[in-house]
Amino acid sequence: MSVPAIEVVALHKVYRSTLGRTITALDGVDLSVGEGELFGLLGPNGAGKTTAVKILLGLTRATEGSARIAGLPVANPESRRRVGYLPEGHKIPGYLTARQTLSIFGRMSGLDGATINRRAGELLETLRISQWIDVRVKKFSKGMTQRLGLAAALIHSPNVLLLDEPTDGVDPVGRREIRDLLREEAKNGTAVLLNSHLLSEIELTCDRVAVLRAGKLAAHGTVEELTRGSAKYKMVAAPVDDSLIAAFRDTGAGVERVNGHVLLSVNDVQHLNALVDQLRARGGILSELSPVRSTLEDVFVDLVRA
């Protein structure tokens, strides 16, 4: 059995203020990310996401529990040797060029000059800012700065990527290119832990997600598992009058008129078929019947409001 790229077990973190009050940032969190997996870590502000990442990076210590990267305890500096990190709102000195920035990050990661030049060229070409390689960062837009930060996180070909809002300020085309890049990294075995408030991006990018709420794991699973939800169907038919709506509701179905169609909430497929039979018995014509899946945003809002 392979060792998870990231493993967190019963993780607790309690902060104590100067006034003696305690704040529980993490409360018994368990999660793991496998090699080649794209994993989304979600939660409202204050849910504990940043604290979890800080523990993985060795920037703060857990009060209880354990965290490992590639099987090594995070207290061991070697665990971070092959980790790439992009913090939210990262800052790069404006007087540096893109080439100089990647050279600094590459040398801090122990790369030689030839490898740095090769990787910098590859990454900047993939992220479509290669023509800006010798331009000072102070002239970069927010989206370009974000792309450069991602290139810096990837310069040493890490096994684990910790990304905080990687597409912040990036245009739609750029977001798709970054998604494609992350999928390619995952295909090559890199484990990616992605934190973003752009839930549509998480839904399009990640294999699995976990939702933190008040320091606890509120839900986790594949996007499909979390968004499957209850049995809801869009019905387009005619005629759909008040008497038919009342008949549907008499069976226990939820019925809502939405922009020219009917949204049905049913117990199971048999219940749905009974409603269709009622429609046809009244001379109605069915033109569309399709399942309606909740979005990840719907699930997220329901979880954090609970």
Domain boundaries, the chain: 230-305
Q: Are 296 and 225 in contact (CB under 8 A)?
A: no
Residues 6+ apart with CB under 8 A from 32: 4, 6, 7, 8
If you average pLDDT over residues 36-46, what whole number do you get?
A: 93
Share of the chain above pLDDT 70, in %: 99
Asked if residue 230 has pLDDT above 70, the reply is no
If you average pLDDT over residues 226-238, what whole number do you get?
A: 82
Which residue in the block uniquely carries the two structure tokens 């990687």?
166
Asked if residue 298 has pLDDT above 90, the reply is no
Closest listed residue to residue 87, CA positions, set 111, 113, 59: 59
- Using 50, 70 and 90 to split pLDDT, how confident is the model at 100? very high
CATH level 3 topology of 230-305:
Alpha-Beta Plaits (3.30.70)
Beta strands 83-86 and 72-73 are: unpaired
Q: For the chain, what is the mean pLDDT?
A: 92
Closest listed residue to residue 111, CA positions, set 119, 121, 99: 119
For position 20, what pLDDT does the model report?
Answer: 77
